[in-house]
Amino acid sequence: MYEKIYHLLEKTGCVKTAMVISGTHKGRKCLIGQDGCRSFDGTESEDFWTEYEAELMNCQDTMVLHGKEDIFVEIYAKNPRLIILGGGHVSQPVAQICKMLGFHITVMDDREEFATRERFPEADCLITGSFEELSERIPEYENAYYVIVTRGHLGDSTCARQILKRPYSYLGMIGSKNKVKLTRDKLLKEGYTENQLNTVHAPIGIPLGGQMPAEIAVSIAAEIVREKNKYKISYVDETVEQAVREKKQGVMMTIISKSGSSPRGTGSKMFLDQEGRSYGSVGGGNVEFQALKHAPEAASTEVVRYNLSNQGGANLGMICGGQVEILFECV
């Protein structure tokens, strides 16, 4: 399962899964896509998930959904890509800031002298061409953040109409309120819906009152970070991913819920292979020690609760307070 998850992550940047962790169907797993739920290997009937499909598709956080059967929904995201459409004066500091924030940077402009290595030394990809070619030149990618900063509303609408037809994590468009309204009205007349256009951040950025290109870039980057961290997602630990890719067998441990103060968040993972080597972390300290101790004898799809509050935390050598639940899976 995890090998497939990490493979899909490389292709799309975002993967959503569900696993039944209690009840008679404990251990069942599925992938959740725009077209619904499907089993991982096709051997299990997908009819089981029909009852839960709407709730699972609407869930935006890594969390446990409680019901007659508890279901752990996990959302993975990695390798966010920032696509800057327009290579003007605001685009340069946006690229610089977002590169520091860990984004893969693509810059596209229809003017050859603007999409250059001299202007964008931090860019991973530079594209020169008509914005009409956006769909052909830039592959679809779910964990994509689009910043439309072309030099006019014609370029803006050309970019927006193509992006609105593909998946994205963020879409922002620069411009005055009048320019934004002009573009919005044009797209509405073309048949795009209010719901689609309401996902567009326009005018782009958090209002900070800035006038300088760098100040505007800070407001854009701040809005992107806010949207990126809006929901709880699972942190992808590269050491855990590498162990899975090497086809190691062992036990995967995942924090599926937490309350109060605890060292690591929901979705944090640790993997123990058959040779006793561990990868990743679920918080360190005695909680991690106890989890590693329990892992070799754990039943697959077993949930164990660790209390870090008051005497429970003292007994485990932790002073954070709170509580964590860890899911154990044999993989």
On whether both 6 and 70 belong to a single domain, the answer is yes
Task: Indicate the SS3 state at residue 283.
Answer: coil
In the prediction, which pLDDT does 299 show? Answer: 87
Domain boundary pick from 47, 76, 105: 76
In the prediction, which pLDDT does 41 show? Answer: 65
In the prediction, which pLDDT does 42 show? Answer: 63
Domain boundary pick from 228, 253, 281: 228
Distance CA 189, CA 50 (A): 36
On whether both 98 and 224 belong to a single domain, the answer is yes
On whether both 88 and 223 belong to a single domain, the answer is yes
- Cis peptide, bond prior to residue 203, ω within 30 of zero: yes
The stretches of the chain forming alpha helices (DSSP H) are 2-12, 53-58, 91-100, 134-137, 153-163, 177-189, 194-197, 213-228, 238-245, 285-294, 310-315
On whether both 310 and 287 belong to a single domain, the answer is yes
Looking at residue 112, its amino acid is E
**Considering the entire predicted model, what is its pTM?**
0.84
On whether both 26 and 164 belong to a single domain, the answer is no
Query: Domain range spanning residue 16?
Result: 1-76
Residue 86: Cβ-neighbour burial (10 angstroms; 0-12, 13-18, 19+): buried
On whether both 166 and 205 belong to a single domain, the answer is yes
CATH code assigned at 128: 3.40.50.720
On whether both 93 and 72 belong to a single domain, the answer is no
Distance CA 209, CA 319 (A): 43
CA 143 to each of CA 14, 124, 146, 236, 244: distance values in angstroms, whole numbers, following the listed order? 6, 16, 10, 14, 22
In the prediction, which pLDDT does 40 show? Answer: 78
Distance CA 220, CA 79 (A): 19
In the prediction, which pLDDT does 309 show? Answer: 62
Task: Indicate the SS3 state at residue 201.
Answer: strand
Domain boundary pick from 173, 198, 228: 228
Encode pLDDT of 147-170 as tens digits: 999 988 889 999 999 999 999 999
Looking at residue 173, its amino acid is M
In the prediction, which pLDDT does 313 show? Answer: 47
Residue 18: partners with Cβ closer than 8 Å, 6 or more residues away: 29, 30, 32, 37, 49, 52, 56, 71, 72, 73, 74
On whether both 29 and 112 belong to a single domain, the answer is no
On whether both 86 and 214 belong to a single domain, the answer is yes
Total count of domains within the chain: 3
On whether both 70 and 95 belong to a single domain, the answer is no
Residue 220 CA neighbour count, 13 Å, CB half? 34
On whether both 94 and 195 belong to a single domain, the answer is yes
On whether both 85 and 218 belong to a single domain, the answer is yes
32 phi and psi, to 5 degrees?
A: -115, 115
Q: What is the pLDDT along the chain (331 residues), one digit of tens a residue?
A: 899 999 999 999 999 999 999 999 999 999 998 888 988 766 556 688 989 999 999 999 999 999 989 999 999 999 899 999 999 999 999 999 999 999 999 999 999 999 999 999 999 999 999 999 999 999 999 999 999 999 888 899 999 999 999 999 999 999 888 888 888 899 999 999 999 999 999 999 999 998 999 999 999 999 999 999 998 888 788 999 999 999 999 999 999 998 876 667 899 999 999 999 999 999 888 889 999 999 999 988 999 999 876 544 455 455 556 789 999 999 8
